[in-house]
Amino acid sequence: MDLILKYFPNLTEDQIDKFSKLSALYQDWNLKINVVSRKDIDELYLRHVLHSLAIAKVISFKDGTKIMDVGTGGGFPGVPLAILFPECHFHLVDSIGKKLKVVNEVVAGLKLDNVETTNSRVEEINDDYYDFIISRAVAAMPTFVHWIKGKIAKDQNHDLKNGILYLKGGDLSAELQDYKTAKIYPISAFFDEAFYDTKKVVHLPIKYRG
Ligand SMILES: C[S@@+](CC[C@H](N)C(=O)[O-])C[C@H]1O[C@@H](n2cnc3c(N)ncnc32)[C@H](O)[C@@H]1O
């Protein structure tokens, strides 16, 4: 928890309480349904919680922003960001039901009322628009862009254009060569820990298609 306060010192009591509870909730649920590896559970705040929050160093979501987390798995990056931005709406989607069972239990345990979950492939969700689509470790960019086509909202409310905010690692030059508007933000610019040395937030603006 100190790690979170190191980079986000202005949290409310309620946010501190929710972030603190994540450890026990994931330890407990991970014993029943394994969604996070053993090593990662021991380093939950470094490898999952703070990593998810790197997106908040690139953008501060305004109240009322609608965000979809595609392939959320155990709830990353969606759950930590939903704690940080309680006035934004988060839709967490995963095609594997047992992963969402853990997410639903964590969301209920924290009384996070700004989170909705859906057990589905994202390609099958076509009834809403989102300002931003966030993700980590789900698909290469071309596949991902194809999946989320038609899901981006028209109205722009942030300096950063509506689109994708993806947590990625390593050399992205080949993967992003066809996306000239993609901007890469190295997480090492925000966080000191060696874990983030090769990690990035990628922002890719996506046009509204009504
Ligand atoms: C490697 S896990 C990453 C989970 C989480 N984002 C994280 O970083 O901890 C990839 C997740 O994407 C989900 N997934 C893959 N393709 C998907 C699709 N087309 N629609 C929804 N979820 C998908 C999988 O079920 C899996 O839970």
CA of 190 to the centre of ligand 1 (A): 26
* Residue with token string 């309620």: 14
Does residue 96's CB lie within 6 angstroms of at least one atom of ligand 1?
Answer: yes
Q: Please give the number of the atom of ligand 1 that sits closest to the Cα of 121.
A: 20
Nearest CA to ligand 1 atom 7: 76
Kindly report, residue by residue over 60-81, the tens digit of the pLDDT. 999 999 999 999 999 999 999 9
Widest CA span in the chain: 44
Residue 66 lies in a domain: yes
CA of 16 to the centre of ligand 1 (A): 27
Please state the pTM of the whole predicted model: 0.97
Question: Lowest mean pLDDT: which of 26-30, 38-42, 132-136?
Answer: 38-42
Residue 77 lies in a domain: yes
Share the mean pLDDT of the chain: 96
Q: Please give the number of the atom of ligand 1 that sits closest to the Cα of 167.
A: 8
Residue 210 lies in a domain: no
Residue 116 lies in a domain: yes
Number of domains in the chain: 1
Kindly report, residue by residue over 94-125, the tens digit of the pLDDT. 999 999 999 999 999 999 999 999 999 999 99
CA of 177 to the centre of ligand 1 (A): 23
Residue 98's domain is classified under what CATH number?
Answer: 3.40.50.150
ipTM of the complex: 0.99
Does residue 137's CB lie within 6 angstroms of at least one atom of ligand 1?
Answer: yes
Does residue 146's CB lie within 6 angstroms of at least one atom of ligand 1?
Answer: no
- Domain assignment of residue 139, given as a range: 2-205
